[in-house]
Structure 1
Amino acid sequence: MAFIQAVLDGLMIGGVYAVISIGLTLVFGVMGIVNFAQAEFLTLGMFVAYFAWKFLGLDPLIGSFLSFVVIFGLGVVVQMTLIQRVLNAPPVAQIFVTVGLLIVIENLTLIVFGSDFHSVTTSYQTSTLRIGPLFIGIPYLAAFLMALLSAAALWLFTNKTWYGRAMRATAQDPMAANLMGINADRMRQIAFGLGVGMTAFGGAVILPYFTVHPTVGHQFVVLMFTVVVLGGLGSVAGAVVGGFAVGVIQSVSTLFFPIQLQNLVLFIVFLTVLAVRPTGLIGAAR
């Protein structure tokens, strides 16, 4: 029964891992750029939800939508002013720009918000749902359901709307997309905004059981890259599968090893999978 409980706990957190990682793989899939500042947008999303709770009285689950909108807009501006300029530059220039963006955002948040840890208080914060001998924390369940909702909304957008199809066309062949009347630059702006907005949304929904501070992104950045590479860099479906896999591996490993070795087990599995399938679980070779 302990194993089933561990798997259930892993699935709950894995759903959130998937959502915060979808944004990273979406940006890479459309623009071919690995955004090393992705986790900093998660931090900003958490701060937006925190201040929406503090000053507007919005529950973080509701504030997550505000986080998405605010960070989406910020992402569009960043893409237009910074990322667009290095799209055709050597990869090393792209890395420097996104790493520099990481440093700027982190230090700005330290200057503006200070180094204190902040948390919210909700009515369901310590509530649990019992299913027979199994227990699910309500905050974890709520975050998981919100993550599934956002992932489903993204799938509908990319597969059922004109903008979504245009964005996928831009990812496949920007020149052909331009010839078909699609504004490839606009699609890249939307893709980057969606990418960082989804990550901010995922950060906001975990606020009921997580504290926010300017360096909170450090706790997620390695996991995000692990998820997208394990699932297949550039594959949204791969990010979902990778997120659930990482969550379950982390949770189950604590049954057999000290929690300090949680990530060690994860990376052993990670390296083993890549040794067998270098393109990831779902990614395809180019």
Structure 2
Amino acid sequence: MDQVAVTAFFQTLVQGLLTGGLYALIGTGLSLIFGVMKVINFAHGDFLAIGMFITLALFRTLNIDPYLSLLVAAPVGFALGYAIQRFVLTRLGDRLGEGSMLATLGLGLIISNTLLLGFGAQPQSINVPYAIKTFSFAGVQVSIPLLVAGLGTLVVIAGLNLLLYRTELGRAIRATAQNPLGAELQGVRTANIQAIVFGMGVAFAAIAGVLLMPLLYAFPTVGENYTTKAFIVTVLGGLGNLPGAVVGGLVLGVIESLGAFYVSNNYRDAYGLIAFLLVLLLRPEGLFGKTVKRV
């Protein structure tokens, strides 16, 4: 293998890992919600779209740098998720498992159609000076926005890890995930914890939307594809397994990147679906999920 081929391989690998980091951030939010509430949020990608359009609106109206939009998009995402859990999902009661699928699907339709009314159907982008700039290291060139997105993902996931394992709130979240009744008996307000977790999951999706905005076009239904990717990531890593979601996101990013480079970019999304089907066939509990033996 000559030097050019080696450099091309490593450049493709690095781009796949950075893209996979974003997938990991999206999947972590979905996995966190499922781990605590046993709910799959089918509107997850639509919340990512909200983050993208908040960034677009702030840039066009106030000329705010896309990354500074994180200061708005993350709190808005958290507040929206918290409110949805407290005022929509909690009303489902014992029907939460099945009802949440329909409720979140409906929310996704409401969000995408609201964005369509507000911003139109045409794909829209933002023009910033660093959008086309690259960073070069050892012959490998990486897009600056993609590098920032990868580093931002690392910071967010590290912060989540500190929250879960170094704070009282984190202990309450883990207790609610492991045994809600036991947590209630110890004085944990599990309903509030679930609302906080849903808010965090939505905030992660909104953050991912902000990080993606300098890289992609925004359009009202952009979230549909990312809901699918988030679901693939969580299944690859094991539903509810946060470290697994991170690894699953990286694996998906690398598979897509290598497949697009060495096979065809036209089938980029198909490579992840093939990996998804193989995991379902060979290890349905996911790469890091636990096998449950039925007695």
TM-score with structure 2 length normalisation?
0.93
Q: Structure 1 residues 76-85 or 183-192, which shifts more?
A: 76-85
Q: Structure 1 residues 232-241 or 253-262, which shifts more?
A: 253-262
1:227 CA drift (Å) = 0.7
- Asked whether 1:74 is paired with 2:74, we answer no
Of 119, 122, 127, 1:116 maps to 122
For 2:155 and 2:52, the matched residues in 1 are separated by 18
For 1:284 and 1:199, the matched residues in 2 are separated by 26
For 1:99 and 1:269, the matched residues in 2 are separated by 25
Deviations 1:204-260 (A, max 9, x none): 111111111111112212111111101111011111000000000000012331212
CA contact (8 A) 1:129 1:135 kept: yes
Q: Which residue of 1 aligns with 2:272?
A: 266
Q: Which residue of 1 aligns with 2:198?
A: 192
DSSP 3-state at the match of 1:129: strand
- Asked whether 1:20 is paired with 2:26, we answer yes
1:81 CA drift (Å) = 1.0
Of 252, 260, 265, 1:254 maps to 260
For 1:262 and 1:274, the matched residues in 2 are separated by 20
Instruction: Give the 4+ runs in structure 1 shifted more than 6 A.
Output: none
For 1:255 and 1:107, the matched residues in 2 are separated by 35
The code of the aligned residue for 2:214 comes to P
1:137 CA drift (Å) = 0.8
TM-score with structure 1 length normalisation?
0.96
For 2:272 and 2:120, the matched residues in 1 are separated by 33
> What is the Cα-based RMSD across aligned positions, in Å?
1.4
Of 227, 232, 238, 2:233 maps to 227
The code of the aligned residue for 1:53 comes to F
- Note the 1:195-210 alignment, pairs <5 A: 195-210=201-216
- Asked whether 1:178 is paired with 2:177, we answer no
For 1:123 and 1:263, the matched residues in 2 are separated by 29
Of 149, 164, 169, 1:163 maps to 169
Q: Which residue of 1 aligns with 2:71?
A: 65
CA contact (8 A) 1:31 1:87 kept: no
